[in-house]
Structure 1
């Protein structure tokens, strides 16, 4: 049954059907025709999946990020980053990576982060002589920071699937996210060391840009402080972040308009509909897996053949890398996490470590054709054909694979902080 589901889903995928239909049609046909399950059971399970309280944080964090985008926060973060590192080798590229890291700390949407920061930084980089394909690939690669640095939609979805507290998955992404940030900065410095440098900013300019960016920089403090102080749940924290974003836009920066607020609501509705339709349809696959006992059989197979935790994580990474080439990170999670979670627990692999390995490998799909949504989004910002950036993207794919392998051998980066904060 599982083989039939996978085969049918692959056929539908190559027919270019939307991902939620690939999940829904393939799994529902097998569930209703092969396993004789009634439609009412599938609908009830799908409804239960999309009404989990933890998932309420996704649209709220997306909304907060989109409001921040229209409140001038991204521009102020760029100015601050430029004042700090603009004079470094490849300073504009380094500033874009750092700004992406800042923006990741309060925005729940990878594509929104690429658009917000890229629209400001990428034209500047082109004017200074940076290669357009390299600029696009760098923006797409930096978008992976959004999947690691909290708050992250990937972390929320992983928690909904595994039962791991969101506070733990958020904490698990901090050090791996910062590690990736440093690696990307080093790549830019080496790759762009011959580029013309910007003038070093004066101390007074750095202070003034910091003052302007401070309200935005306080957002992660509000988000993470509310969660780890125990005062707020992730959903409540996301609601507070949304209110703070509106207050910041209307009162502090005074750049948010009612038209911009309406556009943010529309963008949130579209993004939420896409994510939740995938979640609803992906539960059909989980029904097939449950009734066929595929996770239990795979667990027995792995144990009987003496697979070690490292071997298991490499297999997980290879599967996520292949799947991430064809589908986005959310459906990859719903395809793989329910199966591999049971195996990880039997092999005593911490679920927070598994989360980072999943995200690191599956997130490379932002750069790998044919889907490569990160590359297409970054290309659209400067009206460049995405295929022109494929060559430069391979550099970051290679860097990303090295980084993901590092995460396999350095579990402490993912497990230490969650344990320390308990």
Structure 2
């Protein structure tokens, strides 16, 4: 039954059927006609999945990030990064990576971050002689920081699937996110030696950039501080982030307008609809897995052949890498986590370690054709054809694979900070 559901889903996927319908039709038909389950069971499970309290944080974090974007935050963060590292080799590229990291700390949307930062940095990099293809793929690669550095939609979804506290999943992504940032910066500095550099900013200019960016830099402190101080749940922290973003936009930066708020609301509604439609339909596959006990059978099979934790994680990485080439990271989570979660528990693999490995390899899908939504988004911002950026993809995919392998063999990067905060 599971094979039939997956086979039908793959056929629909290759026919370019929207992902939520792939889940709904493939698994729904098997559940109804193969397992003789009533529609009411599927609807109840689906409704329960989308009404989990923890998922309320997703639209709120997205909304907070979009408000901050319209409040001029991205421009101030870029100015801060440029003042600090613009004179380094590849300084513009380094500044873009750092700005993506900063922006990740209060924005829940990868594509919004690529658009916000890329619209400022990509034209500047082109003027300074950076190859547009290199800049586009770098922007798409840096977008993965959004999936690791909290608040992260990927972390919230993983927690909803595994019942791991969101606070732990958030903190598990911080050190791996910083490691990825360092790897990207090293690549940019090596490649950037041939590009022009900015003049070193004076300390006065740096202090001005810091002062202008302070309200933005306080946002992650407010978001994460409330959670780890035990004062706020993730959903409450997201609501506070929205209020703080509106306050910054209206009263500090004074660049946010009611039209901008309405635009952010509409964009949030669109993004949230896409995510929650996938969540609702993906639960149909979870029903099929539950009734057929496929995860238990797969666990027994792997244990029978002596598969160890490292081999298992390598297998997970390869599967996520392949799936991420064809579908986005959210459906990859719903397709794979319910299957491999039980295996990981049986093999004493930490859920937090599993989360980082999942995210590392599935996130490479931002770069790999044919889906590569990160490259398409960055290319549209840079006003170039996406296929012109593809020659630079192998370099950054190689960096991503190296990073993923590093995550497999260094579980402490995912586990140390949650343990220390706990």
- Structure-2-length-normalised TM-score: 1.00
TM-superposition CA deviations, 1:159-190 (whole Å, max 9, x none): 00000000000000000000000000000000
Q: Which residue of 1 aligns with 2:177?
A: 177
Quote the residue 1:49 is aligned against: 49
**Structure 1 residue 326, shift from structure 2 partner:** 0.2
Deviations, residues 136-173 of structure 1 (Å, cap 9, x unaligned): 00000000000000000000000000000000000000
Name the counterpart of 1:306.
306
Q: Cα deviations across residues 346-397 of structure 1 (Å, max 9, x unaligned)?
A: 0000000000000000000000000000000000102211111111121100
1:252-291 matches, within 5 Å, as: 252-291=252-291
Q: Show the 5 A alignment for 1:82-93.
A: 82-93=82-93
Report whether the alignment pairs 1:338 with 2:341: no
The residue number in structure 1 matching 2:99 is 99
User: Where do residues 22-33 of structure 1 align in structure 2 (5 Å cutoff)?
Assistant: 22-33=22-33
Give the Cα–Cα distance (whole angstroms) in 1 for the partners of residues 419 and 107 of structure 2: 25
SS of 1:193's equivalent? helix
SS at match of 1:231: coil
Aligned counterparts of 1:309 and 1:419: Cα–Cα separation in 2:
21
Shifted more, 360-369 versus 376-385: the winner is: 376-385
Partner of 1:324: 324
Question: Which position in structure 1 is the counterpart of 2:81?
Answer: 81
Q: Which residue of 2 aligns with 1:116?
A: 116
Per the alignment, residue 39 of structure 1 pairs with: 39
Distance 2:141 2:95 in 1: 14
Residue 167 of structure 2: SS of its match in structure 1?
helix
Shift of 1:29: 0.4
- TM-score w.r.t. the length of structure 1 is 1.00
1 CA distance for matches of 2:323 and 2:196?
40
Say which SS state the counterpart of residue 151 (structure 1) adopts. coil
Structure 1 residue 198: Cα displacement: 0.4
- Give the superposition deviation at 1:302: 1.3
Q: In the aligned structure 1, how far is the partner of 2:8 from the partner of 2:339?
A: 19
Secondary structure of 1:192 counterpart: helix
Gaps of 5+ in 2: none
What is the CA–CA distance in structure 2 between the aligned matches of 1:317 and 1:273, rounded to whole Å?
28
The DSSP-based 3-state class of the residue aligned with 2:341 is helix
Aligned residues: 422
Distance 2:117 2:193 in 1: 22
Tell me how far 1:225 sits from its aligned partner: 0.1
In structure 1, C-alpha distance between the alignment counterparts of 2:35 and 2:44, rounded to whole Å: 17
d(CA) in 2 for partners of 1:66, 1:236: 18
- Shift, 1:71, TM fit: 0.2
Residue 361 of structure 1 corresponds to which residue in structure 2? 361
After superposing on structure 2, the runs of 4+ consecutive aligned residues of structure 1 that deviate more than 4 Å are none
User: Which residue in the other structure is 1:214 paired with?
Assistant: 214
Q: Give the Cα–Cα distance (whole angstroms) in 2 for the partners of residues 44 and 163 of structure 1.
A: 19
C-alpha distance in 2 between matches for 1:408 and 1:10 = 28
Partner Cα separation in structure 1 for residue 198 and residue 274 of structure 2: 41
Matched with 1:130 is 130
Distance in 1, matches of 2:265 and 2:226, equals: 24
CA distance in 2, matches of 1:393, 1:231: 43
Using the alignment, how far apart are the partners of 1:8 and 1:307 within structure 2?
Answer: 29
Unaligned runs of 5+ in 1: none
Cα RMSD between the aligned structures? 0.4
Residue-by-residue CA offset, 1:104-141 (whole Å, 9 max, x unaligned): 00000000000000000000000111001001000000
